[in-house]
Amino acid sequence: MDGVIALGIVAGYFAVWIGFAVWASRRGWSKIVGIGGGFLAACVAIMVVALIAVTTTEKPLQKMQDQAVGETSIKPTVSVPQKVPQLPHKYYVIQDGAEYGYEQAVSAEAQHQGQVASNILMFKFLGERDGTLQFYNREGDVVVAFQCERPCEYVKQMVFFDQRLQKKQHLRAVEGSILWAVSRDAMNGLLKQYTNERNGKMHEGWFEEAGPKWRPITTSK
């Protein structure tokens, strides 16, 4: 804007000087016209230089102002999606109250004999004591109890008949086996502890080699 005003002033001076030069020439004042013309040319040169300086500094100044506005402007907030915690994978295929069913794969021999449907073995989880977990399976009067310590790579098996220990052995919980699947669900907190009511009080059980033991559940446990 300042450059346009300066350019207008130069044009005005130049028009006035032309009028004066014509009038002075008619009266024989050519020397005055020459001196005034040199002075006017010097003024025009100064005004042009000033005009160039103004126009060249306006753009950087405007650029600096635009950058300052851009830096101080409020940037839009970007929402970061929150990760939803995933629940542990469960391996039991069915739940019936406090019993959990695990599918037993059909062996090649069983398939050869005509068996096509897989068996479901039901287990009850007795809980955890000092890092030791216990669960059992019942078939009639035969109870097979399993006990392992975290991380349950090996499992103690106790076979009871009529509440008396008949056999004891230690097994490896091979990945993919039923023992491995039950122990993983138990360690991941996916199995509810089995309890029963005796004499009006809830009891929790635990298998020892001497037989099953039941004790009342207390709030201070």
Domain boundaries, the chain: 2-71, 94-216
Which pTM was predicted? 0.59
- The order of strands in the sheet holding 132-139 is 94-96, 99-104, 119-129, 132-139, 142-149, 154-161, 164-172
- Tokens 């130049």 identify what position? 14
Model pLDDT for residues 171-215, shown as the tens digit of each residue: 999 999 999 999 999 999 999 999 999 888 999 999 999 999 999
Listed in sequence order, the residues at least 6 apart from 146 whose beta carbon sits closer than 8 Å to its beta carbon are 134, 135, 136, 137, 155, 156, 157, 158, 179, 182, 183
- H, E, C per residue of the chain: CHHHHHHHHHHHHHHHHHHHHHHHHHCCCHHHHHHHHHHHHHHHHHHHHHHHHHHHHHHHHHHHHHHHHHHHCCCCCCCCCCCCCCCCCCCCCEEECCEEEEEECCCHHHHHCCCCCCEEEEEEEEEEECCEEEEEEEECCEEEEEEEECCCCEEEEEEEECCEEEEEEEEECCCCCHHHHHHHHHHCCCCCECEEEECCEEEEEEEECCEEEEEECCCCC
Contact predicate 161/209, CB 8 Å: no
Give the pLDDT of residue 105. Answer: 81
Asked if 152 and 173 touch (Cβ cutoff 8 Å), the reply is yes
Nearest to 148 by CA among 205, 177, 186, 195: 186
Q: Are 123 and 184 in contact (CB under 8 A)?
A: no
Q: What is the pLDDT of residue 177?
A: 95
Residue 169 to residue 133: CA distance in whole angstroms: 16
Contacts of 213 (CB under 8 A, 6+ apart): 205, 206, 207
Angstrom distance (rounded) from CA 211 to CA 162? 9
pLDDT of residue 183: 97
Which residue is it, tokens 């069915």? 94
In the prediction, which pLDDT does 76 show?
A: 62
Low-confidence ranges of the chain (pLDDT < 50): 33, 48-49, 51-52, 54, 56-58, 61, 68, 72, 221
* Strand order, beta sheet including 201-208: 195-198, 201-208, 211-216
